[in-house]
Structure 1
């Protein structure tokens, strides 16, 4: 049985690309299908740096999770968690806090298939993956599995990594973020990353067309629009910056300004 066949379940439509599987392909993963690779290659043809975007996004995730854990937070809610892999939320959180409680939410059936194939008992040091859609934050917050793992009386690190640019303006992205952050107590954190059109709107518009036949279209936003997601929160230094410039572990890479994704971290007062 091929690797693709092993992950083909009745819920998985292999003929339609999904952002999670395209992202897996950018990172060199194997949990993707021909439709995902075809769509991803269209993006790469127009923007060869997209693989670097994905790597920078994954690196930011690790730094943000470590930063949140260093503040004493041991709970994480990652909406749009995607497929597992090195440097992902689960690995990063458990490395920083072996007692971490992690809930991942996704609407891609293959992400859920992975979770069913690799179950982890709920409890201390556990990762629970549940079905949900960022566009319906109230349903996520009401999910008994989410409530069973996370204590909403204690601070939570809310992670929206490379997912808000798949929420269009008419789907109220700012209201979605507000709903999530209103549900967590003071001392909680919001970490997010977002594709921007601040540097080459024309090229990004061409790449966005590759997502039009996927399960989610791409909407790019400016630095100002990205910063607005943190309204009411304390935006931590260095603010909204290109991913390689956000608290780098070493020297800022030479191609930092070619990574057209912003990242930031904010604390709820």
Structure 2
């Protein structure tokens, strides 16, 4: 989609590009013109819908908030986020975002798709398209909610950076993921990226190698495939540390961002990874928010 200054928009379709005029009020003092004429408002995700045989394009805009003061190497904090199927996202602060509702909707869609393909009628084809659009709308809504939750968590713990692993790494870790899962992961990261910009929070991707096999205790860091005894359980074969596997991976992702921040020529200013009960860093280990708290 391309928006032009003359009040037209060009849309790319499966056949060709279509250029249309925006339906704007006659009164140029209308709020719509504020978004179009003010360069501080940036065009963001928009939706194209059909209703009663007519197409409607709803344009989305956002205005970045002033960025906060840059974090120094002494106080920069990163929120590590692990992505998956059973849990769409797990943060290094111990917040779990369930993927069960999205997985249930997808499973129902795939079952209906198989039945409709056997039918092969025009009516079945139209039903398939309707159900596909419904699944997409449901998924987008759910992904936005999770993205908002991740941003809430980052702001709650005063994080300057949110770290994900590179999405290519998820393919290796979750070999049974579907095209839909890959699409959902990409969408979720992109939603977090543009929402984080508004709050002056950076989003970075880190090397995914061994994030699910490495012990997240900074005084251990033992890597072994046997550490992950079950899908949900991580138990280090070296030090005995036992924790939920996705939470362990989220901490490793955050710690990897910390290490990258220290060695990068850009100096991202990240010095610790946020946990629910404190912070953790390779050099300092675990530092509780309050005396007596444990990792």
Q: TM-score, normalised by structure 1?
A: 0.24
Larger radius of gyration: 2
Greater share of helix: 1
Greater share of strand: 2
